[in-house]
Amino acid sequence: MEYFPGGSLERYCSFQNLLPIHRTIGIVFKCCMALDHAYRQGIVHRDIKPANILVDEQDNVKITDFGLALNINKKLDTDSTFIMGVGSPAYMSPEQIKGYPLNQKTDLYSLGVLLFHMLTGRLPFRASNPAQLVYKIINADPPSVSQLNPDVPEQMDAVIRKALEKDLYSRYRNGAEFAKDLAAVRYQILDEGHVHHDAERFARLRKLAFFTEFEDVDLWEVMRICAWRKVGSDLGLMREGDLDQRFGIVLEGKVELSIGGRRVLEVGPGEVFGEQAWLDQLEHKQLLSAVSLDELSYLEVNPAALALASEEVLERFRRQLGTVAVRRLAAVSRQAAEHAPAAVRAVRAAPVVHDLQIVDY
């Protein structure tokens, strides 16, 4: 076999190792043309994913592992993409998962998933178990690429949507058509040498207690949808009663939270402020005022941007903020109890539970 001095595209699918956008487009463009040529020879690959595409330092591309393509009668449930530890159905087209007859459009769908992954550092469909993942692939729409990575031109959203169309008649007809649209987007990129470096910011967020339960891919997404703010001391950040659902997560410095001119709490690095308005689904009002006590750096979360986040990130924010709210309520309740009268009936022991038996007469 030919020796190819390169590695697979897997190394470029994590957010910290993303290639410049113009290089990603160039690589996928070549993949489009290669698949187009293969189909003209009567070949459908059926297993397009990063591990099966090699690229060298000059971005020359080789598509490998045509084993599934050659064995057309191989049962779907024995395909390598379903084997735990080898791959996942994440790159499979809806028709491939359903076991329908396949043509070249299934490869173009898988290539669209790969393009999405290389542009954002995450897959378009993610779930906690295979059944949920299969459901999303068949029924859900992918998120916007340009929202997950603002460096990506908005024109790319339309390309991704067409590549990931569930309706075969609306999907790209062939690799050449896919490549043509990629070339059009490529010309929209002016600064080819721009590479966005977020490793330092990622490291800072990873150390914060608030993000302990966030996976790395979720944290990279958080960095894309949030704004980094730096302000001086004694600055009003939020005011009690305002219809402002933004909230902040302290990076450096301290914030004083108050109500009715009375201090309630002081929060520092890794702690959140202003979350009550976002959690309140009825009035959306700020319950507390927030003021910076010294020079402050914080991550500002805008609800409009958060609404565009993936379901996984939204769920993690809900869980974390819900936990924060419950703990603060408990702390305030304990403080109030210190100045409250004694309870009429205090709970002194665990309640006695009586077993009931049903007796037939």
Query: Hey, which residues are catalytic here?
Result: 47
| Residue 54: closest CA among 39, 64, 45, 44 | 64
Q: What are phi and psi of 300, to 5 degrees?
A: -95, 125
Residue 300 near residue 227 (C-beta atoms within 8 A): yes
DSSP 201-262: HHHHHHTSGGGTT--HHHHHHHHHHSEEEEE-SS-EEE-TT-----EEEEEES-EEEEETTE
Helix axes 104-120, 21-40, angle to 10 degrees: 170
| Residue 151: closest CA among 112, 121, 111, 114 | 121
If you ran DSSP here, which 8-state letter would residue 96 be given?
Answer: H
If you ran DSSP here, which 8-state letter would residue 93 be given?
Answer: -
CA distance 317 to 94: 30
CA distance 223 to 59: 28
Q: What are phi and psi of 297, to 5 degrees?
A: -115, 130
